[in-house]
Amino acid sequence: MPGVKHSRQRDALLNNLRLRYDHPTAEELYMSLKSEMPNISLGTIYRNLNLLSDDGTILKISDGGVDHFDAHTHEHYHMLCTECKHVYDVDMPVIEGLNEQAQKYVNGTVNAHFLLFNGVCENCQNKK
Amino acid sequence: MPGVKHSRQRDALLNNLRLRYDHPTAEELYMSLKSEMPNISLGTIYRNLNLLSDDGTILKISDGGVDHFDAHTHEHYHMLCTECKHVYDVDMPVIEGLNEQAQKYVNGTVNAHFLLFNGVCENCQNKK
DNA sequence: AGTAATAATGATAATCATTACTATTATTAT
DNA sequence: ATAATAATAGTAATGATTATCATTATTACT
């Protein structure tokens, strides 16, 4: 790829993200990577998260608060706990043909869809 | 309602939002309201948008960029144009029983879902 | 109606996630 | 090796949103 160079930092970021299932924020990834790379910069995290999510290597989850990231890019859905703001996977079957269905109701082109459930997670329920 | 008082500003905000279908941002509502209420403050807009969306009177649409608002609270979906960042209604039938379906795959309680399509709107397509 | 209680406002400062800038360092091509 | 240039660390800037606080508006009570 012309104009793109390897970097240890980007490799470490992607590796770290691929090993986890907790949809971390940029800040959380920064904390985690600092143990193996004490000099890594938060700007580097953001720059690479944007690179990787722009080319589809990872997923950016936006729910109105802080962005979360996911390296598991098979199509799947998420739930945001409105109490603790954690993001969970919802491993239900994907809805087939949904983009095509929406296409009928839209002037323009539908390319993707994002389905986010809101709720309260088990942990937060037990706290009451 | 104890602890809540009427305000001309909140009425004007809700009125304004109910008359439009363009999913304005806080800033856009501010601009629009300033013509009838030149002294209204941006903080007042935000404070009331939060009040109204917290109690379900209006809808907050978060797509990772600036928040958009919608006073038409019947359940429906949206499309974000990834070029111009405008939000459009997608008036397709709502997916019945989706929360209940997701519930089976989640520890905790599912309360709602938000479905956001991404695409390119007619306007932006014609610009190429 | 008049007054007390208090919620809401306008103006402005503060916060916080994210992006931009810049001199230096690391990676790749020649 | 060396030159070219992409990426980094560190830090400053941005921009949306929230907090603060003295003043004003709304409601409750006599």
Cα angle B24-B83-B53, degrees, rounded to a multiple of 5: 25
Q: What is the pTM of this model?
A: 0.93
User: Where are the CATH 3.30.1490.190 domain residues in chain A?
Assistant: 74-128
pLDDT above 80: residue A14:
yes
Q: Where exactly does CATH 1.10.10.10 map onto chain B?
A: 1-73
Q: Taking CA atoms, what residue in B is nearest to A99? A: B117
Closest nucleotide (CA of A4 to C1')?
D6
Q: What is the mean pLDDT of chain A?
A: 96
CA closest to C1' of D16 belongs to B66
Q: Which of A88, A61, A87, A57 is nearest to A74 (CA)?
A: A57
For A32-63, the pLDDT digits (tens) are 999 999 999 999 999 999 999 999 999 999 98
Average pLDDT over residues A70-89: 96
d(CA A117, CA A124): 16
Distance of C1' in C8 from CA in A85, Å: 29
- How does pLDDT run across A25-40, given as a tens digit for each residue? 999 999 999 999 999 9
Cα(B37)–Cα(B30) distance, integer angstroms: 10
The reply to whether CATH 1.10.10.10 applies to domain A1-72 is yes
User: Does A70 have pLDDT greater than 70?
Assistant: yes
User: Does residue B1 have a pLDDT over 90?
Assistant: no
A85-123 tens-digit pLDDT: 999 999 999 999 999 999 999 999 999 999 999 999 999
CA distance B112 to A10: 36
CB contact under 8 A, A102 and B77: yes
Angle B20-B25-B27 from CA coordinates, rounded to 5° = 110
Superfamily of domain B74-128: Ferric-uptake regulator, C-terminal dimerisarion domain (3.30.1490.190)
List pLDDT tens digits, range B58-109: 999 998 899 999 999 999 999 999 999 999 999 999 999 999 999 999 999 9
Contact A105 B91 (CB under 8 A): yes
- State how far residue B86 is from chain A, nearest Cα, in angstroms: 12
Which CATH number is B1-73's, of 1.20.120.1690, 3.90.1300.10, 2.60.120.10, 1.10.10.10? 1.10.10.10
| CATH 1.10.10.10 in chain A, residue ranges | 1-72
Residue B74, Cβ density class (10 Å: 0-12 exposed, 13-18 middle, ≥19 buried): exposed
pLDDT for residue B113 is more than 90: yes
All residues at 6 or more sequence positions from A21 whose CB lies less than 8 Å from its CB, including other chains = A72, A89
Whole-number pLDDT of residue B3 = 85
